[in-house]
Amino acid sequence: MDVALLRRVASAFVPLLAMLPVTGHVAGAELRGEIVDAATQQPIPARIYVQHESSRWHFVRSADTRGTAVVYDKTNWINANSVEKHTTLSAHPFVADLPPGKYTLTVERGKEYFTETRSVEVTAESPANVRIELCRWTNMAERGWYSGETHIHRPLAELPNLMLAEDLNVALPLTYWVTHSGRPPSAGDKNVAGDVPDRLIEVDKTHVIWPRNTEYEIFSVGEKRHTLGAIFALNHRSILAEGVPPVGPMAAKARADGAIFDIDKADWLWAMSLIPSGGAGVPHSARRRPWRRRMGMAPLHPRQLLHAAQLRLSDGPRGGNGQRRPSRARRLQPRLCPFARWLLL
């Protein structure tokens, strides 16, 4: 094509493009804030959620070069409504660059502070500044009780920030994670990256991490997809070399190495065998059911749930013509599954 012709066409369109409205660009607005203890008025670490009125989530960063901020941005791959999107902050001011609009800020610190919610509007003309006070309703550490968590799947590098923001005194992250039968933790398919130290990590005098802990969560036996259950070996010094099942040999060696045991998913197939085989000693005291978000599970119809529980649903007796009679009271007829029959032998 003639170069001169191309230039004439381009020169004709440039003025038209200049007349088009500019879209997709919104002038930024700044949100600044700090989080303090209501009684002492001192800055404290905390967790913060920032949600726009459109339901879109946003994240803050530390406004101090000495501070830290860890973004947690998760959407479940099965259920898109199962989300967790927040930032954990050190005890320093925070800042966020946001599109203008109305936002809801939700701030928490563990279980000993009341949650604080604040509505704020930010504009491009001037930054918004907020000061959020969290009220503490109890202090269990002063009474000799310390919080702990045995089920943590987070990188070791994030834990100091996370523990202070949640006021979690003791953390036992599952740095070794095995999902295949017979595989040793040193070859776990979900292990954390990097070296795992064999010493206590002190975040401060009341917040500590023991980094060597193992989860055996068996989903595959040999080449077959076969779910068994989960057992945790906590507080061991060396890297465990035994796969499971059987659990007994692993439990004996781990216990000699200083480990204690925790049972997860007590309703899974091999749960009943873990205690007599020398494994689990402490059951999970709080499961995932108290989550603030929707569970990341596929939705089930009530009849599917009943089938999973080995129950039959009856709408009442049938009439002479074979039609069900209207009945407000439905009857549940229990039917034992083979595993339950075996337990009753």
* Tens digits of residue pLDDT in 6-16: 555 455 544 44
| Average pLDDT of span 49-61 | 98
Take residue 138 and report the two structure tokens written for it.
């109890």
191 secondary structure, DSSP code: P
Take residue 305 and report the two structure tokens written for it.
């749930």
Which of the two residues, 299 and 177, has the higher pLDDT score? 177
Question: CA–CA separation, 108 vs 105, rounded Å?
Answer: 10
* Structure confidence at residue 223 as a pLDDT band (50, 70, 90): confident
| Average pLDDT of span 168-184 | 96
Yes or no: say if 217 and 154 are a contact pair by the CB < 8 Å rule: no
| Average pLDDT of span 173-178 | 97
* Structure confidence at residue 48 as a pLDDT band (50, 70, 90): very high
Q: Please tell me the total number of residues recorded for the chain in this structure.
A: 345
- C-alpha angle 233-236-240 in degrees, rounded to nearest 5: 75
| Average pLDDT of span 71-90 | 93
Which of the two residues, 187 and 59, has the higher pLDDT score? 59
Take residue 85 and report the two structure tokens written for it.
């999107």
Yes or no: say if 30 and 93 are a contact pair by the CB < 8 Å rule: no
* Structure confidence at residue 90 as a pLDDT band (50, 70, 90): very high
State the pLDDT at residue 324. 45
In one letter, which amino acid is 287?
R
Q: In terms of Cα–Cα distance, which of 156, 182, 165 is closest to 46?
A: 165
- Calculate the alpha carbon distances from 56 to 59, 157, 245, 292 in Å: 10, 28, 45, 17
29 secondary structure, DSSP code: E
**Angular region, 34: left φ>0, alpha ψ -120 to 50, beta rest:** beta
State the pLDDT at residue 293. 65
Question: At a CB cut-off of 8 Å and minimum separation 6, what does 212 contact?
Answer: 175, 176, 196, 197, 198, 235, 236, 237, 238, 239
- Calculate the alpha carbon distances from 296 to 173, 177, 217, 299 in Å: 22, 20, 18, 9
Yes or no: say if 179 and 222 are a contact pair by the CB < 8 Å rule: no
Helix (H) or strand (E) holding 333: strand 331-334
**3-state SS class at 225:** strand
Question: CA–CA separation, 301 vs 307, rounded Å?
Answer: 10
State the pLDDT at residue 319. 46
Which of the two residues, 89 and 294, has the higher pLDDT score? 89
CATH homologous superfamily of 29-134 equals Immunoglobulins (2.60.40.10)
- In the predicted model, is pLDDT for residue 328 greater than 70? no
Half-sphere exposure of 21 (CA within 13 A, CB side): 3
Residue ranges per structural domain of the chain: 29-134, 145-283, 302-318+327-344
State the pLDDT at residue 276. 78
Q: How many helices and strands, by DSSP H and E, does the chain display?
A: 6, 21
Question: CA–CA separation, 345 vs 342, rounded Å?
Answer: 5
**Percent over 70 (pLDDT), the chain:** 72
Q: Looking at the DSSP assignment, which residues form a beta bridge with residue 220? A: 180, 225
Question: pLDDT tens for residues 269-283?
Answer: 788 788 777 656 666
- Strongest mean pLDDT among 67-81, 96-110, 249-263: 96-110
Classify the C-alpha dihedral 232-229-286-163 as positive or negative. Answer: positive
**Percent over 90 (pLDDT), the chain:** 61
